[in-house]
Structure 1
Amino acid sequence: MTDNYVFSTLTKAVKEKSPLRDYFDIAFPNRRSVNSRFRASSGALLVPGQGANPGTMGTAFDNTVRLRLAPEEVPFPVLHGAGKLMGAGGIALVGELSDLSVSSRENLARVAWVFALFTEAFRYPAVLPASLEEALESGLGDADSFVGLAAPGIVEELLQLDDVADAKLYPHLTKPVTVGPIFHGLPIAADADLIHDGTLIELKATLGRSVRGARQDELKTESLLQLIAYGLVDAEDTFSISSLALYSARYGHFEKWDLAELLQELAGRPIDLVEERQRVQDLIKGKWLSPLAFDEKNSTRSSNRGP
């Protein structure tokens, strides 16, 4: 890893002030029309929040999808979070929980929540979720005890999200799915949610924005740019990604874009995918630390720039 490249994950490189984010803002400024169409194609909020931490709930929903599609493939943050907290016993516990998740829909939801807590322990080791900290202090050690950390309201919300996914997400997954694809050969961590038949799919469980007292789905700039980053980070074309999709779980909203067409609309110019993928690789690897070296004559700084 290059010493002066300080972003540990692709998500952070997109969300924070980084050479990659600077380049995206210069090269792909025309986001407003994409955002407007996304909002227009979405419906009403189907699953409101019930008070649980929104970020933890989003991770838990991701886990329900992963556990349904590939219960034997445990996400890296879950394993490392449990391992850091409980050593070898934590790794064994994760295996027991994975086995338990297939026994019923309720246990699927409970295990998904516990996995989300372990993920938070991995991401933010200095501040453990209170329920997890209490469980460790009280000496909980088996799978049946840990699934009790998911309160009834949390289980109900996850089951509602799963019901909506049955109707709105899984019908799109008609062929084998790559769960948690990892993009190798980078100095930062980059793993997406799903790839299905050349489409990279990101899962979101955000509540959206409040408009005159009602919730409305939205495509945040960071979410759109994260999708683009995943579409461009595969320089070797290992996964043959030709399209992108975002599934908004609380709205049952599945939106799909052709990768090349989306980039061309965002850029306002013709796009060469091979060149763009190499440019993103260079930025991530720190070979080209100033995105301002990009020829701005080719970038459309239009009034159509997104929020």
Structure 2
Amino acid sequence: MTIISGWPALTVALSNRASPARLFIQERFGRWQDLQARYRESVGSLVVPGSQANPGTIGSAFDWMVRFMVHPSPDLRLALLGARTPPLWHAVHELARTLNYSQTGDSVGTCRFSGPAAGSEADHQLLARACWALALLTDLYRVGPTPGSPLMALAPRSINAEKLLELAPPAALDELQTLRAFAERSLLPSLSARHGAWALGPTFAGSSLMNADADLIAAGLLLELKTGLGSKRRDGTRRSSLEAPTIMQLLGYVLLDFADEFAIEAVGVYNARYAHLTTWRLPELLAELAGRPVDLWEERVAFHQLLATGG
């Protein structure tokens, strides 16, 4: 995929208050205070506290975990993009075979399928270890080599699937298993009711202009997975909030689906540490955030023009 020079990835653009992409979304759909207040009231208590494991890697690993929970062989493209050396590339393919993938060519696994589907039958502990390794490789692709990454300590000639599976610390494995247990009760039942076209890590028509890939689309539901601990109250307890960047991120994905390829009819957020799923029907959400009826086609055309002309 060719990205036009000058546009950062969607999440990076939205973190910049002066970005034309952020200003476009904020000016058109910035009435989110009531939505945020209702969200805060609906979320219960923190059920999965943090640990000594890297929280960023936990988030990436949980994303992979959910993919394996809804399909036996999700696409490993992001991890392979991070596997920039032949030993790492071969180790990922070996890891796929360990997880009973039947396809280990240049394209490994499935991105789109008719769902719901059965998840991976791999041993849960093995799968948690694999998701941690895939998360490290995904982070290597997204942000590049970082000091302290366990991948950097591997001797190139000794890298294989077994070495990748040994990278996960015990605290991370315990945390991932707990997150999985809650997701099986609070997320999967809602997803399993959605029949139709599913996509894992989908990219959009607009991703050729601004790099963006979402977490999951399940038969018209665009879902964002979060593992944030939330902010602290005065008494030291945590609470989950619907942050403005998350709202803008969901809207950005919707706008980048220029031709309505995924027929997105609803968006949602699953906060794994609170075992809380919230979804909103898209037409009503857009109207509330805009303070007026919204023609989504017109908004997509305008956003496309903004990106195509460089803002």
- Match of residue 204 from structure 1: 226
Q: Deviation of residue 71 (structure 1)?
A: 4.4
Letter of the aligned partner of 2:134 in structure 1?
F
- Match of residue 258 from structure 1: 281
Q: Is the 1:120–1:128 contact (alpha carbons within 8 Å) kept by the matching residues of 2?
A: no
Letter of the aligned partner of 2:256 in structure 1?
V
Q: Summarize the Cα distance change of 1:75–1:129 in structure 2 as closer, same or farther, 3 Å threshold.
A: farther
- Match of residue 305 from structure 1: none
Q: Deviation of residue 129 (structure 1)?
A: 4.0
- Match of residue 108 from structure 2: none
Structure 1 stretch 63-72 or stretch 204-213: which is displaced more? 63-72
TM-score normalized by the length of structure 1: 0.86
Letter of the aligned partner of 2:143 in structure 1?
Y
- Match of residue 178 from structure 2: 160
Letter of the aligned partner of 1:108 in structure 2?
L
Number of residues of Structure 1 aligned to a counterpart in Structure 2: 282
Letter of the aligned partner of 1:142 in structure 2?
N
Cα deviation, 1:82-116, whole Å, max 9, x if unaligned, reads 1x1x22x3222212223434530001111110111
- Match of residue 243 from structure 2: 220
In structure 1, distance between residues paired with 2:58 and 2:23: 30
Q: Is the 2:10–2:211 contact (alpha carbons within 8 Å) kept by the matching residues of 1?
A: yes
- Match of residue 191 from structure 1: 213
Tell me how large the CA RMSD over aligned residues is.
1.8
Q: Does 1:33 align with 2:34?
A: yes
Letter of the aligned partner of 1:162 in structure 2?
R
SS of residue in 1 equivalent to 2:162:
helix
Percent of residue pairs bearing the same amino acid type: 37
Q: Is the 2:214–2:224 contact (alpha carbons within 8 Å) kept by the matching residues of 1?
A: yes
In structure 2, distance between residues paired with 1:105 and 1:126: 28
Q: Summarize the Cα distance change of 1:235–1:184 in structure 2 as closer, same or farther, 3 Å threshold.
A: closer
Q: Does 1:179 align with 2:200?
A: yes
Structure 1 stretch 171-180 or stretch 19-28: which is displaced more? 171-180
Gaps of 5+ in 2: 100-120
Q: Deviation of residue 128 (structure 1)?
A: 4.7
SS of residue in 1 equivalent to 2:31:
coil
Letter of the aligned partner of 1:153 in structure 2?
A
Q: How does 1:1-307 map to 2 (within 5 A)?
A: 2-3=4-5, 5-7=6-8, 9-16=9-16, 17-82=18-83, 84=84, 86-87=85-86, 89-101=87-99, 102-136=121-155, 139-174=157-192, 175=195, 177-185=198-206, 186-212=208-234, 213-286=236-309, 289=311
TM-score normalized by the length of structure 2: 0.85
Letter of the aligned partner of 1:203 in structure 2?
L
Q: Is the 1:140–1:146 contact (alpha carbons within 8 Å) kept by the matching residues of 2?
A: no
Q: Summarize the Cα distance change of 1:201–1:73 in structure 2 as closer, same or farther, 3 Å threshold.
A: same
SS of residue in 2 equivalent to 1:149:
coil
Cα deviation, 1:149-202, whole Å, max 9, x if unaligned, reads 101111000000000100011111123532111113532222111111211111
Q: Deviation of residue 231 (structure 1)?
A: 1.6
Q: Summarize the Cα distance change of 1:2–1:162 in structure 2 as closer, same or farther, 3 Å threshold.
A: closer
Q: Is the 1:63–1:115 contact (alpha carbons within 8 Å) kept by the matching residues of 2?
A: yes
Q: Deviation of residue 283 (structure 1)?
A: 2.0
